[in-house]
Amino acid sequence: MELSGIRAVLLDMDGTLVESHAAVERAWRVWSAEYGVDPDAVMIVAHGAPAGTTVRTFLPAASSGDVVNAAAARQLALQYDDLSDVTPATGAAELLGTLARRGLPWAVVTSADVRLAKARLGAAGITPPLLVTVEDVAAGKPAPDGYLQAAAALGVAPADCLVVEDAEVGVRAGRAAGALTVGLRGLPADLTVDDLAELARML
């Protein structure tokens, strides 16, 4: 696939730029036990989506938005200090080095809140030039809001952006924004690569 026209790269965080799957799963399993829901069912839909979206799916009888917000806040709180095995994803250094050499602007667009995003990126030793979190947008993934906001902040048309994701909801968000999408580890997208190092070689 021809990537020479790409003018910016927009990266998801968890599972894409930062390897944090174990920490995410631990938090959701503890949360599921506390709220009496099936953890395996939760894990099927939680990856890549904002915590509030998953909470609303599994607590449909919640009496108010405050209940949902409190449950989502509890899930995030379980993750803030669980950073022991959070590392850069395979190929992250190669990709970020390639972007720097080519002078391509990039951003992180995540379903995490800003506290969690900064904690995980910090643990991985990554400082993005632009960070868009779920707190910055009206609607999280699969809505395109985060990717549209990042493209606008970088001054690049969405159609000239490359969205890199490891979750189906993220690919949907990237496509809805009008960007070209890359899926990691077999995830269906406009382009599929094994890891970020492979993408770096293509750029």
**12, 82, 145, 166: the active-site residue:** 12
Indicate if the pLDDT at residue 63 is higher than 70.
no
Measured from the Cβ of residue 87, the count of other Cβ atoms closer than 10 Å reads: 14
Strand 8-11 relative to strand 106-109, pairing:
parallel
Average pLDDT, integer, range 81-96 = 95
Residue ranges with strand state E in 2-126: 8-11, 18-19, 87-88, 106-109
Model pLDDT, residue 172: 97
Pick from 78-82, 91-95, 113-117, 167-171: least confident = 78-82
Answer whether 180's CB lies under 8 Å from 202's CB: no
Model pLDDT, residue 86: 95
Model pLDDT, residue 4: 87
The question of whether 14 is a catalytic residue gets the answer yes
Domains of the chain: 8-20+86-202 (3.40.50.1000), 21-80 (no CATH)
Higher pLDDT, residue 133 or 52: 133
Indicate the pTM of the whole model.
Answer: 0.89
Q: How far apart are CA 57 and CA 69, in angstroms?
A: 13
Q: In the numeric block, which tokens belong to residue 87?
A: 């590392």
SS3 54: helix
- DSSP-derived letter for residue 14 is B
SS3 201: helix
Answer whether 100's CB lies under 8 Å from 79's CB: no
Strand 180-184 relative to strand 191-193, pairing:
parallel
The per-residue pLDDT for range 10-35, each reduced to its tens digit, is 999 999 999 999 999 999 999 999 99
The question of whether 160 is a catalytic residue gets the answer no
CB-based contacts of 100, cutoff 8 Å, min separation 6:
none
Distances in Å between the Cα of 45 and the Cα atoms of 58, 78, 201 are 10, 18, 32
